[in-house]
Amino acid sequence: MNARLVVLVSGAGTNLQALLDAARNPGYGATVVAVGADRDGIAALDRARDAGIPTFTLKVRDFETRGAWDDALAAACAAHQPDLIVCAGFMKLVGKGFLARFTGRCLNTHPALLPSFPGMHGVRDALSYGVKITGCTVFLVDEGVDAGPVLAQAAVAVADDDDEATLHERIKVAERALLVDTVGRMAREGWSVSDDRKVTIGR
C-alpha cells in the first residue's frame, strides 16, 4: 500500500517533480495525492496539474490572522488523508495548529548541514564562513526554524571558485536525490523518533 504524500510548494517545483517522477515506479512506495501552495501563478502548481494531481492554494493575506491561515492549511492537508507532508521549497513556516495534527509526519529540506547555517541564507552563510564541506539536510519539522530531528544528510564539497549560485545549484541536485530517497525509505520501511531526537528509518 502506497504512502499518501501531500506536497507543499512556493516556487518552481523541482523537488515536487523529482517526487512525481519517483512515484511513477510502483516499487517506490509513495504517491503524491495533492499539492498545496501559498501563492498563485507558480510553476510547481503547473507541474501538479500536468500530472493530474489535485491542488489547493491558501494565501496568508486572505486570512485575518496567521493562526487562521495555519489552521486552514492543516485542514486542507488533512482532507487528503496524508501519511506524510513534504515541504518542497515551501516558503512559509507552519505553526502550532498545523504541527498539532502532523508532528512527526511533516518533513522539509535545508541547503546546509544542520544544525550549521539554519535560516533563509544557508548557502550564503556557509560560503561566507569559509567551510570546505556543506550539503543538505532532510528533517522533521518542529516549532523551531530548521531545528527538527534530522532524517538524512548529504555532503557537498565547496570549490575554491564557488559563488552562491554555483554552490546552491550543486546542493539542489544533491537535495533532490536525498529527498526522493528519504521519502521512499520512510514510505516503505516506516520511521520512529526517540526521546533524544534521533530518527530511525525502518522498523
- Does residue 132 belong to any structural domain of this protein? yes
- Does residue 201 belong to any structural domain of this protein? no
* CATH number of the domain to which 175 belongs: 3.40.50.170
CA–CA separation, 181 and 21 (whole Å) = 12
- Does residue 46 belong to any structural domain of this protein? yes
- Does residue 109 belong to any structural domain of this protein? yes
- Does residue 202 belong to any structural domain of this protein? no
- Does residue 203 belong to any structural domain of this protein? no
Q: List pLDDT tens digits, range 89-98.
A: 999 999 989 9
Residue-range definition of the domain harbouring residue 146: 3-193
Q: List pLDDT tens digits, range 153-192.
A: 999 999 999 999 999 999 999 999 999 999 999 999 999 9
Number of domains in the chain: 1
Over residues 47-71, the mean pLDDT reads 96
**For residue 110, which of 135, 128, 143, 93 has the smallest C-alpha distance?**
135
pLDDT in the model for residue 37: 97
- Does residue 184 belong to any structural domain of this protein? yes
Whether residue 110 lies in the annotated active site: yes
